[in-house]
């Protein structure tokens, strides 16, 4: 009986983060030459598909595109419009229960940041 409980406990600890763990609101900041820039995302997992939005500087939600979940890794794109000039940001994140560690790219320039679940 004890051995069964021990095996079950070890199995539960070894189970990778599931896609549902990404659901909800995540906030943090990106360090820039002009100081820290706040970021906020809302995500919803549906199997291997990821939907959601990024909160823009104006407070409006910007939908994510091409959201995918592969184990603990999430990827997606965000398209911005700066006065008629489209600008695309790509994100790749490693999800763990307390945080997502992101690698992003904007205009060929990589950046890193961490968000925490609210």
Please give the biggest Cα pair distance in the chain.
66
Mean pLDDT of 74-87: 91
d(CA 55, CA 38): 9
Beta bridge partners of 20: none
Q: Roughly how many angstroms between the first and final C-alpha of the chain, as a whole number?
A: 39
Has residue 7 got a pLDDT over 80?
Answer: no
- For 73, the token pair is 């890794």
Where along the chain do its domains lie?
17-117
Low-confidence winner among 3-7, 34-38, 76-80, 89-93 (lowest mean pLDDT): 3-7
What number does CATH give the domain 17-117? 2.40.128.20
What is the pTM assigned to this prediction? 0.81
Residues 6 or more apart whose CB falls under 8 angstroms from that of 80 comprise: 56, 62, 86, 87, 88, 89
- pLDDT tens readout for residues 16-67: 445 558 999 999 999 888 889 899 999 999 999 999 999 988 889 999 999 9
Please tell me whether residue 77 adopts helix, strand or coil conformation. strand
- Contact by Cβ (8 Å): 114, 94: no
User: What integer pLDDT is reported at residue 81 of this predicted model?
Assistant: 84
Name the more confident of 32 and 103: 103
Q: Give the rounded percent of residues in the chain with a pLDDT score beyond 90.
A: 61
Q: What Rg, from alpha-carbon coordinates, does the chain have?
A: 17
DSSP class of 22: G
**Which pLDDT does position 20 carry in this prediction?**
56
């Amino acid at each position: 009986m004890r051995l069964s409980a021990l095996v079950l406990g070890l199995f539960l600890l070894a189970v990778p983060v599931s896609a549902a763990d990404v659901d909800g609101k995540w906030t943090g900041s990106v360090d820039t030459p002009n100081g820290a820039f706040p970021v906020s995302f809302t995500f919803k997992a549906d199997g291997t598909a990821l939907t959601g939005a990024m909160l823009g500087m104006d407070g409006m939600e910007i939908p994510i595109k091409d959201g995918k979940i592969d184990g603990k890794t999430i990827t997606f794109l965000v398209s911005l419009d700066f006065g008629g000039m489209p600008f695309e940001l790509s994100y790749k994140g490693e999800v763990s229960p307390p945080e997502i560690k992101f690698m992003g790219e904007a205009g060929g320039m990589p950046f890193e940041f961490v968000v925490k679940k609210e």
